[in-house]
Amino acid sequence: MLLGRAANGLFWVSRYIERAENMARLVDTGLRLSLTEISTASDEWGSVLSSAGVRGAFEATHSEYSTLAVADFLLRDLTNPSSVLSSMETARMNARMVRTTLTREVWEAINEAWMTFRRLLTSPVDERDLPAVLDAIKRETALIRGTFQGTMLRNEIFEFAQLGTLIERADNTARILDVKYFVLLPSAAWVGSMLDTSQWQTILRSVSAHRSYRWTYEGEYSPANVADHLILNRRMPRSLAFCYHGIAGGLDALGQDYGSQQPSYDVAINTLANLQDTSIEDIVDRGLHEFLRSFIRDNARLADQIATDYRFN
C-alpha cells in the first residue's frame, strides 16, 4: 500500500497539471467572448473570474478589467495559487516528491512543460500572442497526459493520479459551462439569437468539444444540447458523466487492491447514478446554474473524502 503522503503527491500532481490546462481554457473562453463586443469587459472577464472562483482575489488588487490584466492574473500571477504558472510550479514540486513512482518519460514531460511555461510567461503576454501561448499550454499538458497513459503501470499509482485528473476536470468543465450563466444577453429577446448561439459555440470550443458536438447533434445548436453534451454524454471525455465513470472505476480498483471499499466509493457511485438517472430536461427545470454550483460543491466534498479515506498528509 502506498503511503498517504505519496498518494497525496500523485493526486495533486495530476490536479495541478489539469488545472493549468483548464485555466488556459477559461482565458480562451474569455478571449473568444470578448470578440463579440456586445457586453462590457467587466461582464466578459468578470464571468470568467467568477467561474474560476477568483473574482474577489482579482478585485482586491486590480481596479479595472482588461484582457491584459485578467489574462496576466490567470496565467502568470504567483500570488494567485490557481494561475497557470503557480499550478505548474506546484505540480513540479509534488512530482519531485514522488519522482520514484513516475516513469522517466513522465518526469521529463513535466519538467519540460515547467520550463516552457516559465519561458512563455516570463513577461505579460501581448493580446495578439495569447492564442499561441494558450495553445502551447494545452499542448504541453496533453504531452504529459500522453506519456502518463503510454508508460505507467496500471496500479495504485496510476489510479491516484487518474483520480486527481478526473476530479479536477469535472470541476473545470462545470465552471466553464457556468460561464454562460454570467454572460448576460442584451435582453431576453436575444435568447436563441445568433449571439446566443455564438456564445454557446464559444463554450464548446473552449473545451475542445465543438467538433464532437457537431458529430453527436448533427450541428443543431441549442442550450439543452450543449449542456447535455458537457454534462451527461459519457462518450465526451470532458463531460461530468465521463469523469465520474472514471472516478468510480478508479475507486473500485483501489478498493479491490486494498481489500475493502471506502466511503468515497459510495459517494462517487451515488453521483454517477444521479447523472445516469437525470435527463437534461430535469437539469434545465431545476436551473442549470444551480445544478452546476451544487455539483461543484459535491465534487469538492468527494475530493476531501478521498483524502480522508486514504490518509493524505
Co-location of 112 and 176 in the same domain: no
Co-location of 98 and 172 in the same domain: no
Co-location of 304 and 195 in the same domain: yes
Co-location of 203 and 73 in the same domain: no
**69 within 8 A of 125, measured Cβ to Cβ:** no
* pLDDT digits 0-9 by tens, 67-92: 899 999 999 999 999 999 999 999 99
Q: How many distinct structural domains can be found in the chain?
A: 2
Co-location of 4 and 71 in the same domain: yes
pTM of the entire predicted model: 0.90
% the chain with pLDDT above 90 = 68
* pLDDT digits 0-9 by tens, 262-301: 999 999 999 999 999 999 999 988 888 899 999 999 999 9
Q: Distance (Å, rounded) from C-alpha 310 to C-alpha 41? A: 44
Q: Is the pLDDT of residue 19 over 90?
A: yes
Co-location of 213 and 308 in the same domain: yes
Co-location of 248 and 159 in the same domain: yes
% the chain with pLDDT above 70 = 93
56-59 long-range contacts, Cβ below 8 Å, gap at least 24?
none
Co-location of 146 and 295 in the same domain: no
Co-location of 69 and 197 in the same domain: no
Co-location of 220 and 120 in the same domain: no
- So what's the pLDDT on residue 2? 77
- What residues have CB less than 8 Å from 77, skipping those under 6 apart? 83, 85, 86
Per-residue pLDDT band for 189 (boundaries 50, 70, 90) equals: low
- The residue range of the domain holding 209 is 154-312
The mean pLDDT of 86-109, rounded to a whole number, is 96
Q: Is the pLDDT of residue 66 over 60?
A: yes
DSSP state of 233: -
Co-location of 83 and 159 in the same domain: no
Chain-wide mean pLDDT for the chain?
Answer: 90
Co-location of 31 and 115 in the same domain: yes
Listed residues 99, 127, 152: the one ending a domain: 152
230 or 47, higher pLDDT: 230
Per-residue pLDDT band for 187 (boundaries 50, 70, 90) equals: low
Q: Is the pLDDT of residue 201 over 90?
A: no
| 292 to 40, 207, 251, 267, 270: CA distances (angstroms) | 25, 16, 23, 17, 16
Judge residue 254's burial from the number of C-beta atoms within 10 Å of its C-beta, 0-12 exposed, 13-18 middle, 19 or more buried.
buried
Q: Distance (Å, rounded) from C-alpha 49 to C-alpha 265? A: 32
CATH number of the domain enclosing 125: 1.20.120
Listed residues 114, 133, 152: the one ending a domain: 152
